């Protein structure tokens, strides 16, 4: 069981989908079992021999790869005097796991958009999980719950463009010849090298870009000529409401399509309230309860039902770090007139 878990962690590391807790788990496993470094080298071999999607299921290719694995395993066994039964089991697990890797690299790494087109590398998090990604150019990405990042195989060679759904915190490596561009459904964000956060959940009321260090240029997807240059600790916010967009396009001044506001740095932190999620802190200030409920739903993978319409629009402020679902709900209960009930994966909030 430990062998298969090791293979899983190594695979996720090679594909850039390893979370910070999983990285610690992997280091602990390798520290406890130095012999497992050999299994790690097998996984490296598989990824170095990564096949084109259309040839991935070729029997001759798989057989060829298996022969290489067998040869390497035999060399490893011959190097020592005697191998324990544990290592023989690890050998079998390695072959089986590498077979699965050859048959299903797409699980964590990529899928083909067409036989002639470039592959898409996709890293996605489910509700209740976060992930850390190291992109090919060295850019660091922290991916929040229920989020997805996609980039093509030529990333860092021709350009540095990714597509984001959900929320991510970026520390971008500088490269003046290849600007880093993030595409969301509503906006594009262009940077040269900087630290910032982008929040682009489809169900949220707005899409936001928060700049911590450096500079970024934000442009509207439907109006690329409309650009906004942000300074450190500024937040750009644009409405996700089609109704608001239609009014703005018609020249109405009754509702703001976008805003640019200064944000406050968090005490004893290099970031802001908008980026505290990277440290596993849930922070909200004068937020509507229905918006907070969506965030809690993503963090803990639960469904939240608010029974009272007035309660949905009530605003709450608070901050909790490394907290359980119950602790978060209790903090809300203390700051406002609400009650809650947890039934399996459903939370019901009542007045």
Question: pTM for the complete prediction?
Answer: 0.64
Mark whether 23 and 153 lie in a shared domain: no
Report the pLDDT averaged over residues 132-149.
Answer: 91
Better-predicted residue by pLDDT, 349 or 50: 349
Give the end of a domain, one of 203, 229, 262: 262
Token pair of 117, please?
Answer: 């087109």
- Per-residue pLDDT tens over the stretch 179-219: 999 999 999 999 978 999 999 998 888 999 999 999 999 99
Q: What are phi and psi of 143, to 5 degrees?
A: -100, 125
Q: What are phi and psi of 5, to 5 degrees?
A: -65, -40
Mark whether 91 and 40 lie in a shared domain: yes
Residue 212 neighbours by CB under 8 Å, 6+ apart: 194, 195, 196, 197, 232, 233, 270, 271, 272, 275
Residue 144 neighbours by CB under 8 Å, 6+ apart: 125, 130, 166, 167, 168, 169, 277, 298
- Is 274 domain-assigned? no
- Per-residue pLDDT tens over the stretch 265-288: 655 455 578 888 988 888 888 889
- Is 138 domain-assigned? yes
- Is 57 domain-assigned? yes
Number of independent structural domains in the chain: 3
How many angstroms separate the CA atoms of 233 and 263, rounded?
5
How many angstroms separate the CA atoms of 165 and 148, rounded?
5
Q: Is 42 exposed, middle or buried (0-12, 13-18, 19+ CB in 10 A)?
A: buried
Mark whether 150 and 202 lie in a shared domain: yes
How many angstroms separate the CA atoms of 244 and 307, rounded?
27
Mark whether 204 and 239 lie in a shared domain: yes
- Is 273 domain-assigned? no
Which range marks the domain in which residue 126 is found? Answer: 118-262
CATH number at residue 308: 3.55.50.30
Mark whether 126 and 241 lie in a shared domain: yes
- Per-residue confidence (pLDDT) for residue 340, from 0 to 100: 94
- Per-residue pLDDT tens over the stretch 15-57: 566 677 777 888 888 777 765 665 666 555 555 544 333 334 4
């Amino acid at each position: 069981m430990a062998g298969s878990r090791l293979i899983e962690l190594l695979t996720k590391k090679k594909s850039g989908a390893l979370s910070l807790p999983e990285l610690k788990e992997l280091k602990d496993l390798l520290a406890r079992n130095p012999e497992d470094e050999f299994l790690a080298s097998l996984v490296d071999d598989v990824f170095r021999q990564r096949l084109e999607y259309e040839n991935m299921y070729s029997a001759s290719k798989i057989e060829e790869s298996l022969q290489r694995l067998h040869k390497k395993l035999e060399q490893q066994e011959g190097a020592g005097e005697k191998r324990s039964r544990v290592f023989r089991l690890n050998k079998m697990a390695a072959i089986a796991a590498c077979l699965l890797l050859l048959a299903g690299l797409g699980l964590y790494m990529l899928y083909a958009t067409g036989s002639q087109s470039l592959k898409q590398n996709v890293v996605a998090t489910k509700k209740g999980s976060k992930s850390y990604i190291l992109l090919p150019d060295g850019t660091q990405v922290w991916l929040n719950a229920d989020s997805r990042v996609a980039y093509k195989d030529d990333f860092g060679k021709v350009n540095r463009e990714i597509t984001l759904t959900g929320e991510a915190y970026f520390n971008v490596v500088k490269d003046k010849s290849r600007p880093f561009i993030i595409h969301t459904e509503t906006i594009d964000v262009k940077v040269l090298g900087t630290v910032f956060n982008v929040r682009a959940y489809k169900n949220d009321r707005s899409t936001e870009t928060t700049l911590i260090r450096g500079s970024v240029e934000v442009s509207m997807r439907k109006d690329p000529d409309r650009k906004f240059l942000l300074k450190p600790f500024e937040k750009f916010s644009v409405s996700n409401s089609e109704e608001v967009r239609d009014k703005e396009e018609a020249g109405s001044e009754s509702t703001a399509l976008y805003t640019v506001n200064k944000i406050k740095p968090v005490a004893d932190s290099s970031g802001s309230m908008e980026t505290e999620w990277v440290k596993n802190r849930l922070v909200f200030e004068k937020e509507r309860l229905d918006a907070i409920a969506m965030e809690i739903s993503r963090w803990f993978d639960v469904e939240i039902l608010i029974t009272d319409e007035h309660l949905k629009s009530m605003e709450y402020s608070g901050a909790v770090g490394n907290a359980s679902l119950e602790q978060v709900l209790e903090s809300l209960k203390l700051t406002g007139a609400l009650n809650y009930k947890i039934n399996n994966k459903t939370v019901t909030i009542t007045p």
